[in-house]
């Protein structure tokens, strides 16, 4: 009888042998037939397709996508916004994009679950790198983020941003609204509503940016919804709230129904603050609040939001300084992967959907 260690070793050898020797088109490893082995992020010649990678080594782009600023024939650009100057409690979200990229390396190793989709056969995704700004000149940061996003959006390329603290959504919304010429609906996953009032026009605070966004007409509160909220605010500014307690007491299908009914077919921006998840599932964040969603709940909800008319997305508030085993980074990376699955399905199934068009 083989011991446990011997059985595991044989299984590992078998999997590696299958990965590099199989020529079946239905092989479970995307990119198996590619001549490239390793560092596809800087060696792959086009934004489509996958390469076989060592998950523990190589260039750490998001999901091993091409590291480039060439937007020709690109559907989705992923970019990092490494800002944490506006957080009100624990800093460290400036390291969020790096942690999310690091955690993402295992996700493209196999086809998607549960559909079995080779995501990058149909969706052209690149890693655009990070937004540059001068942190010693904080008043210049919002416009730097907005201009960074504008360069991508004006090419009719869909933008998935990795924060950074949640303030980054404010200049990102400005860039998207300037492109689409109308207020957007907002799907907002968070522990906090981030609509607390702020009378300082020069203020930068990750708890007030949606107060500004509503008042400035960037988002339409009547068609916007916040999910997982579990902190109190006297004024929700007309945005519909699905509190964490309500979600725990209802089925996932009920949550999805409320979201879809609220946003309809309006152009919609999706923002996911990782502290929407309970600290048990996402400890690495700046302002954790107990009683939140599980990772399983969040993924189940996201996977049923395929009909939404998305114009932009972000994932924010990952602070790896407070994380354990990068489980928060992994949750954020997995959510980002699921966002891309939604976009891939819209491209393949919904022929009326076009990336970035007004």
How far, in Å, are 6, 9, 131, 149, 196 from residue 47 at the CA level?
A: 40, 35, 20, 19, 41
DSSP state of 52: B
CA–chain centroid gap for 131, Å, is 16
The DSSP bridge partners found for residue 315 are: 162, 272
CA distance 86 to 348: 39
CA distance 326 to 332: 10
Asked if residues 84 and 286 have their Cβ atoms less than 8 Å apart, the reply is yes
CA distance 120 to 57: 21
Burial category of 201 from C-beta neighbours within 10 Å (exposed 0-12, middle 13-18, buried 19 and up): exposed
Burial category of 294 from C-beta neighbours within 10 Å (exposed 0-12, middle 13-18, buried 19 and up): middle
- Per CATH, the homologous superfamily of domain 54-349 is Ureohydrolase domain (3.40.800.10)
The domain locations on the chain are 54-349
Q: In this predicted structure, what is the pLDDT of residue 262?
A: 98
CA distance 280 to 295: 10
User: Which segments of the chain does DSSP mark as H helices, in order?
Assistant: 4-21, 40-43, 96-103, 119-122, 141-153, 169-180, 209-215, 244-248, 252-263, 295-302, 327-349
Burial category of 151 from C-beta neighbours within 10 Å (exposed 0-12, middle 13-18, buried 19 and up): middle
Asked if residues 327 and 277 have their Cβ atoms less than 8 Å apart, the reply is no
Asked if residues 74 and 153 have their Cβ atoms less than 8 Å apart, the reply is no
DSSP state of 237: T
Helices (H) then strands (E): counts for the chain: 11, 9
3-state secondary structure of 77: strand
Its pTM stands at 0.89
Determine the straight-line distance between the first and last CA of the chain, rounded to whole angstroms. Answer: 65
Q: In this predicted structure, what is the pLDDT of residue 21?
A: 37
Sheet holding 66-67, edge to edge: 66-67, 125-130, 76-81, 158-163, 310-316, 268-273, 185-189, 225-229, 240-243
Q: In this predicted structure, what is the pLDDT of residue 6?
A: 45
CA distance 162 to 63: 13
Of the candidates 183, 177, 191, 196, the residue with the CA atom closest to the CA atom of residue 223:
183
Q: Which two tokens stand for residue 340?
A: 């891309």
CA distance 125 to 109: 16
Q: In this predicted structure, what is the pLDDT of residue 358?
A: 52
Instruction: State the 10-residue block means of pLDDT for the chain, 358 residues long.
Output: 42 38 52 80 89 87 95 96 91 96 93 92 96 92 96 96 96 96 97 86 80 94 98 93 97 98 97 98 96 98 96 97 96 98 93 72
């Amino acid at each position: 009888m083989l011991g446990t260690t011997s059985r595991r070793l044989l299984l590992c050898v078998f999997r590696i042998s299958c990965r590099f020797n199989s020529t079946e088109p239905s092989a479970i490893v995307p990119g198996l037939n590619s001549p490239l082995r390793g560092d596809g992020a800087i060696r792959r010649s086009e934004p489509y397709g996958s390469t076989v990678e060592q998950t523990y080594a190589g260039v750490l782009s998001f999901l091993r996508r091409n590291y480039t600023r060439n937007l020709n024939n690109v559907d989705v650009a992923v970019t990092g916004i490494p800002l944490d100057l506006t957080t009100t409690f624990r800093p460290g979200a400036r390291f969020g994009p790096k942690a999310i990229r690091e955690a993402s390396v295992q996700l493209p190793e196999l086809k998607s679950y549960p559909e079995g989709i080779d995501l990058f056969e149909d969706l052209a995704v690149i890693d655009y790198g990070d937004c540059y700004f001068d942190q010693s000149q904080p008043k210049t940061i919002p416009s730097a983020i907005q201009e960074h996003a504008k360069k991508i959006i004006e090419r009719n390329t869909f933008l998935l941003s990795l924060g950074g603290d949640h303030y980054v959504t404010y200049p990102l919304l400005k860039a998207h609204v300037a492109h689409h010429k109308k207020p957007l609906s907002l799907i907002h996953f968070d522990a906090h509503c981030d609509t607390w009032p702020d009378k300082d026009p020069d203020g930068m605070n990750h708890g007030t940016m949606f107060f500004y966004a509503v008042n400035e007409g960037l988002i339409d509160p009547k068609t916007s919804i916040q999910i997982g909220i579990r902190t109190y605010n006297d004024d929700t500014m007309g945005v519909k709230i699905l509190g964490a307690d309500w979600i725990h007491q209802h089925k996932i299908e009920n949550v999805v129904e409320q979201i879809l009914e609220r946003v309809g077919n309006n152009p919609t921006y999706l923002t996911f603050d990782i502290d929407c998840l309970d600290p048990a599932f996402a400890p690495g964040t700046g302002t954790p609040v107990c009683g939140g969603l599980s990772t399983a709940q969040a993924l189940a909800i996201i996977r049923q939001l395929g009909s939404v008319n998305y114009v932009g997305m972000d994932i924010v508030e990952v602070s790896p300084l407070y994380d354990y085993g990068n489980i928060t980074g992994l949750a954020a990376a997995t959510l980002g992967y699921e966002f891309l699955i939604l976009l891939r399905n819209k491209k393949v199934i919904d022929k009326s959907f076009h990336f970035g068009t007004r």
